[in-house]
Chain A
Amino acid sequence: MNLDMLVRAGQPPWHPVPTAEDIDVWDKYEFPICGSYRLDGRLIIFTLITTAGTRSLWAYVPVDPETEQAITEARFDSEGEFNDFLAGCFTGREAVFAAAENLIITSKSDGIHIPVGSNALLAMGAKWYAQRSAALHAELQKRLEAAASSEPTDPAELLSAAQGVIETLPV
């Protein structure tokens, strides 16, 4: 499956592409925390990894058709059992991460392999977020430096570059 199709910027994390169907919310509080949806007939699992302020980090993974039934019919006796099951859905698979601001997706990753290990999803997601942020930072800085040092200076471009830095980077 083309992982690039799973998520799109501008969408809510639990309805990550306009063509998502059969959205099934497994857990929620004020907003869906985890669940599944179908895309072109294929089952996709999504989960919140964590929130921090107005930002949140999410993960998505397609389910192999042969394991679909086991997933849709799974029942759990405890929250711990469910959490282990959810983590297991991502282990050893290629997942897509998405960052959201005010519960709207702003950025997404390519497919990232999730290794075995407790908290691997959190670790890989946070690592992607930090790398994405660093790349964005470098891009903004480059644009700002180019605008500031160009001769003659283009005030509109300089202002736009400055606003980009202020809007994006916290101090």
Chain B
Amino acid sequence: MPESPTTWVRKYACPTDLNGGQCIADDEILTHHTSQRDRYNNAPRPEVMEVELSVMRGRLTTVEACMRRNGGRPAHPSDVERAGVRYTTAGELRGEGNGHVSVVWPAANPLDEPDPAWPPHVQKTFAACFTEGEG
């Protein structure tokens, strides 16, 4: 039987996770950036063939998150003005189901079989994990 292609999530997974541990502790704060305030992606975007959602490790300000998304260069001021960030913890996300963190669903075999079609209740639950932010 041919092997399934290696997913991006598996290829760049933290070695600790691959060995059954948890690279990111439950209490670690994660930042979710949006380029349009008040409009966050609550599920992978099928139009760009995403299978996971990206969040950033740590509590980043809007300026810092925009810079991270711009490949490490400071973002244009108007982009920062339009952007927003919201925060949660890894534990909050896990409860339901490198500097980059991929959120995948379902939990059964996340490294190899992430399902990009998050049902509405999963999207709602994901969004509810973020209880504070800027924009």
Contact = CB atoms under 8 A, between A and B. Distances in A.
Interface of A: 12, 25, 27-31, 33-34, 47-53, 79, 83, 103, 122
Interface in B63-88: 68-73, 75-76, 78-79
A25 B75 CA distance: 21
A66 B48 CA distance: 34
Contact of A79 (B48, B54, B76, B99): B99
Contacts of B68: 29
A49 B70 CA distance: 8
A50 B70 contact: yes
B63 to A, nearest CB: 14
B79 A29 contact: no
A49 B71 contact: yes
A51 B70 contact: yes
Nearest to B66: A51
DSSP class of A's interface residues: helix, strand, loop or mixed? Answer: strand
B71 A34 contact: yes
Nearest to B55: A29
Given A51-B79, A52-B79, A25 B71 contact: no
B76 A27 contact: no
Interface string B71-109: 111011011000000000000000000011000000000
Contact of B78 (A25, A34, A53, A103): A53
Contacts of A48: 70-71
15 contacts: A12-B48, A27-B71, A27-B100, A29-B33, A29-B54, A29-B68, A30-B33, A30-B35, A30-B41, A30-B69, A31-B48, A51-B70, A51-B76, A52-B79, A83-B72
Contacts of B43: none
A50 B8 contact: no
B48 to A, nearest CB: 7
B56 interface: yes
A49 B79 CA distance: 15
Nearest to A55: B76
A103 B72 CA distance: 18
Contacts of B73: 49-50, 122
Contact of B100 (A29, A31, A34, A52): A29
Interface in B1-54: 8, 33, 35, 41, 48, 54
A12 B99 CA distance: 24
B76 A53 contact: yes
Contacts of A103: 48
A34 B71 CA distance: 8
